[in-house]
Structure 1
Amino acid sequence: MNIPNLLTLFRLFLIPCFIFAFFSNSNNCLINSAIIFFTAGFTDILDGYIARKFNEITKYGTVLDPLADKLMLLTVLTCLSIKGYIPILILIIMLAKEFSMIIIGIFLYGKNIVIPANIWGKISTLIFYVAILFFVFDKTFGTYILYLALLGAVIAYINYFLIFLSKYSEKVTK
């Protein structure tokens, strides 16, 4: 187990920590949970940097890293939706997108095909982080940025699906 994969496992550990902080009765529950969310984001950047710089990219990490990201993001959106802070439509669209990507990813993994993250997904993720940051201080403005992030996520999904079709048809025709 290398350091990038350990950082990814740490991000998975942060998910229940986020839930606990978010639903605590603390006056600072949004700030505390946002700190956990941004810690997860920092470890995501760090594990990617270390994996690329020291050539520690593994098939396991290529699959587990985006899964940890998806689970954290879905956890955050679910918590925000449960508390009524964001429209449930955002959560429903993201759940459908992420679960279909997980299913496609598992299918491709079984066929020994891995589609790494692309620029559209990274931009969408960045916008989600910006939205959460603004959300902590201004829920209305943060929600508008969440809609922008949602649009980016849909574009990323379409791009991912087109790559999936291309790679799968390539594999089938070989």
Structure 2
Amino acid sequence: MNIPNALTTLRFILIPTYLLIYFSNIKNSFSYAILIFFIAGLTDVLDGYIARKYNMITKWGTLLDPLADKFMLLTVLFSLSFSNIIPNWIFYIILIKEVLMIIGGFTLLKKYETVVAAKYYGKAATVLFYISIGILTLNKLFGLYFLYCAIFLAFFALYNYLMHFIHIKKTSK
């Protein structure tokens, strides 16, 4: 296992760690959980940088890296909606979007043997989610505005991935 894939694996491990801390009775558990979320974001940046710089890109990493990101984001949105920090519909709409993305990704892999790497608009949406959650911890109203922008960008990314999926489907006939 190379370093980028190890960092992706660490991100998967941070998901239950986040939940355990978030829902614990530890003093400042919310702050610690958000810190874990940002550590997960840092591992995402590092694994992408290392993979590209040292030519360590693998099919495994290309597939699992965005999956780790999706699960981490969904975990955080779930906990924030469960605690009434954000409206529940935000979690559910992003859950539906991510399920569609996962189904599309696995369909492309199974049927067309194609792994679609993350595009800049998907990465931008992820960064905006991190920023919005960071701001949300400081100012709920301002953070929600950023979160709405992240949701819009996430659906813009979904639309573009859908167009890419349709293009692959057409050209594979």
Structure 2 length-normalised TM: 0.96
Q: What residue number does 1:48 align with? A: 48
Q: What residue number does 1:162 align with? A: 163
Any gaps of 5 or more consecutive residues in structure 2?
Answer: none
Matched letter for residue 96 of structure 1: I
| 1:7 and 2:7 correspond | yes
Q: What residue number does 1:109 align with? A: 109
| 1:145 and 2:146 correspond | yes
Residues 28-67 of structure 1: matches in 2 within 5 Å? 28-67=28-67
Which structure 1 residue ranges, 4+ long, deviate > 4 Å from structure 2?
none
Q: What residue number does 1:20 align with? A: 20
Q: Considering only aligned residues, what root-mean-square deviation do their CA atoms show, in Å?
A: 0.9
- Answer yes or no: is the 8 Å Cα contact 1:30–1:136 preserved in 2: no
How far 1:25 sits from its partner (Å)? 2.0
Give the match's secondary structure for 1:163: helix
Which whole-Å CA distance do the structure 2 matches of 1:66 and 1:168 have between them?
21
**How many residue pairs get matched?**
172
Q: What residue number does 1:126 align with? A: 127
Which whole-Å CA distance do the structure 2 matches of 1:23 and 1:121 have between them?
29
Q: What residue number does 2:137 align with? A: 136
Any gaps of 5 or more consecutive residues in structure 1?
Answer: none
Aligned-residue identity in percent? 48
Which whole-Å CA distance do the structure 2 matches of 1:21 and 1:59 have between them?
32
Q: Deviations over 1:126-171 (max 9, x none)?
A: 1101111111112222122111110110101101111111112111
Which whole-Å CA distance do the structure 1 matches of 2:165 and 2:118 have between them?
12
Matched letter for residue 136 of structure 1: T
Give the match's secondary structure for 1:142: helix
Matched letter for residue 29 of structure 1: S
Give the match's secondary structure for 2:115: coil
Q: Deviations over 1:55-108 (max 9, x none)?
A: 110011000000000000000001111111111111111011000110111111
Matched letter for residue 137 of structure 1: L
How far 1:31 sits from its partner (Å)? 1.2
Matched letter for residue 82 of structure 1: F
Structure 1 length-normalised TM: 0.96
